[in-house]
Amino acid sequence: MLTLFDYLPSQNGWKVRQLLAHLQRPYRTQIVSIFEGEGRRPEYRAISPTGTVPAIRLDDGRVLAESNAILGLLADGTAYLPDEPFARARVQQWLCFEQERVESQIGTLRHWTMTGKLARRSEAMVNARRDAALKALGILDGELASRAFVAGDAYTIADIAVFAYASHAEEAGLSLQPYPHFREWLQRVRAQPGHLAEWHPYSIDPHSAGELG
């Protein structure tokens, strides 16, 4: 059985949980206490070189880290990742966008906000993240004005990946009011069969307010 190395407040972890739910694929969970230093232990670094979650171990013992790489592997041969080369590349395009423009900006700003770290960051740093996050939302809103889903007319792992952090933008102090097409897309994603509405706040982990070494 597949093993998922997870940290429940991580929306990167949610991505994999969501796809596994869609696929109705059984798995076991091993929680990694990131802010207690478990991610820095050599035995976990052998699974995830950066010490981050999620990661998976396959039935044959092979391991893979990085949420979007995991999505690509698990979705291969399913409706959530097209077989046609150009359509598949479009999904990859938006997976790259998600990591560069969504997770790293909206996700980071949300984490700082929800764990009390915002006050420990410089004003310039916070403003730069906020400006980049708003730009990402603007791009998504413009793209979603002409199609139903992020990479085309069908729901794919690109939607799962972008939704993970972008859907929580308000928890980063970002208003979604200026982005009507984006908000309509959020509702389309939430309406997908098997959508995981459950999420876990950082407050369930008393160590999350600390800084990673």
Q: At 29, which helix (H) or strand (E)? A: strand 27-31
Residue 212 predicted with pLDDT over 80: no
Does residue 109 sit in helix, strand or coil?
helix
- Backbone CA torsion sign across 7, 10, 12, 17: positive
Average model confidence (pLDDT) across the chain: 96
Amino acid, single-letter form, for residue 212: L
pLDDT in tens, 123-140: 999 999 999 999 999 999
pLDDT in tens, 149-202: 999 999 999 999 999 999 999 999 999 999 999 999 999 999 999 999 998 999
Q: How many helices (H) and strands (E) does the chain have?
A: 8, 4
DSSP letters for 64-95:
EESHHHHHHHHHTTSTTS-SSHHHHHHHHHHH
Tell me what the mean pLDDT of segment 69-94 comes to: 98
- Cα–Cα distance for residue pair 52/48, rounded to 1 Å: 6
Strand 2-6 relative to strand 55-57, pairing? antiparallel
For the entire predicted model, the pTM comes to 0.96
- Cα–Cα distance for residue pair 210/70, rounded to 1 Å: 28
Return the number of other C-beta atoms located less than 10 Å from residue 171's C-beta: 17
Residue 206 predicted with pLDDT over 90: no
Residue 213 predicted with pLDDT over 70: no
Instruction: Give 55's strand partners.
Output: 5, 65
Q: At 131, which helix (H) or strand (E)? A: helix 123-143
Name the strands in the sheet holding 27-31, side by side, starting at the edge strand that comes first in the sequence: 27-31, 2-6, 55-57, 63-65
Angle made by CA atoms 104, 107, 109, in degrees to the nearest 5: 95
Does residue 6 sit in helix, strand or coil?
strand
